[in-house]
A = this chain, B = another copy of it.
């Protein structure tokens, strides 16, 4: 069906002329900016788009494999990937595009559950194509007037949702959650010791940051007191809203009380869980987030915005600029003819900053806040369905007690052969090998993908997460059937 639907100029010309008739435009390859390159360029780009449209339709088709897996050494030999001195023809470029997609993971596939970021939103994709076409940089209003305004509008909206009065505060989109969290630490350090910017780390006492390992910060206050007793200065607490493996939420109100008492910057790492703020049914899990000094929130995870899209929101205005500005006078001239508060470049350590805002903004327009809410609620419903389905099912054991807080469902599948093993150590050793083998088989068959890992003294278990808006109850059923099909002989 995909092939038939993929229309456009390119494939039509192709139909009319046939390959034999000679593709002068391809061989010569005079694309824009060549004089009279218009037609050639549009034909070429349309051919690429036709390839992409066919790939998209295929990706959502459950009859298609999630992945056509090959080992690295095999894949290296399946195409000519080497770079040459001489140019290739445009025909070869189209072949390279097809080969690249042939061996890619279909991250839009309804049965792709492998990461926190899954799925492919059509409006988000269109927005990302537009972003590439605009090909600019976020550092000044001068070179990105619309994108800078949309970042302003969107960050304000996100701060309102966090609960800061009138959406006041500051923020920035950064290249990912780790960088957003790093920016938060820099702000906390600068807030407490502004001299660090000019005088360096040797001008400040020994700083200590705290974060939860997996499930809450139960003994935070004790740890803070211990650190202070040793002469260290606790300056930063990163509470997690949605841990990567268990999807657990730290108790933000209790943590904020402690941070207030000891005058410590409170950061909420909501890279994974922050999106629950958009759900009236689930946002209570982040109660207290409005007391945070800063929040990381990655719309590329639970909101399925194309990669990357990570926001750092900051309660105090002006701090980012003071902390990071370098006054690069070749970018941030002070005698420009417009309102300089729209030149955001000095808020970040980075100079250039990729345009990550448009895909989020356009998706938000298309769905509305209620559309994101419905999408998020549906993923949590699916995960509850999975949890209810397996919690008492023969051959399954849950990794942690109780209903998951996020869409993370962590479980062991025990093949019949090891279900009744008496020797606990032997059983553990066997079980540790089950998930990796099932996963490898999944990839070889290409039917579905889900993540696994060990954790502490727990042997390899499956971590199922659902952020894919294409997934349905039937896909969850399929996953369980597939695990049993691929694992029953182990």
Contact = CB atoms under 8 A, between A and B. Distances in A.
Contacts of A439: 336-337
Given A125-B132, A308-B354, A41 B70 contact: no
Given A145-B70, A206-B200, A48 B86 contact: no
Interface string A382-412: 0000000000000000000000000000000
Contact of A115 (B86, B137, B361, B371): B137
Nearest to A129: B129
Interface in A346-405: 349-355, 358, 361-362, 364-371
A171 interface: no
B5 A38 contact: yes
A154 B81 CA distance: 9
A361 B88 CA distance: 12
A179 interface: yes
Contacts of A307: 135-137, 352, 354-355
Most chain-B CB neighbours within 10 Å: which of A8, A130, A328?
A130
B42 A339 contact: no
A79 to B, nearest CB: 9
Given A45-B53, A52-B130, A141-B72, A135 B306 contact: yes
Q: Give the oligomeric copy count.
A: 2
Given A132-B306, A145-B72, A149-B72, A93 B365 contact: yes
A103 B32 contact: no
Given A7-B9, A177-B351, A368-B88, A42 B70 contact: no
B70 A470 contact: no
Nearest to A118: B135
Nearest to A351: B178
Contacts of A96: 362, 365
B176 A350 contact: yes
A399 to B, nearest CB: 12
A84 B87 CA distance: 48
Nearest to A468: B33
Interface in A79-119: 81-88, 90, 92-93, 96-97, 99-101, 103-105, 107-108, 110, 114-115, 117, 119
A92 B182 CA distance: 37
A358 B100 contact: yes
A44 interface: yes
A122 B45 contact: yes
B308 A352 contact: yes
Given A93-B362, A145-B105, A8 B5 contact: no
A135 B114 contact: no
Interface stretch (A14-22, A287-295, A419-427, A452-460): A452-460
B153 A81 contact: yes
B454 A145 contact: no
A460 B330 CA distance: 10
Contact of A120 (B9, B37, B135, B349): B135
Contact of A87 (B128, B368, B451): B368
Nearest to A44: B122
A101 B355 CA distance: 14
Contacts of A336: 436, 439-440
A129 B129 CA distance: 5
A400 to B, nearest CB: 14
Closest 3 CB pairs of A and B: A33-B470, A175-B175, A128-B132
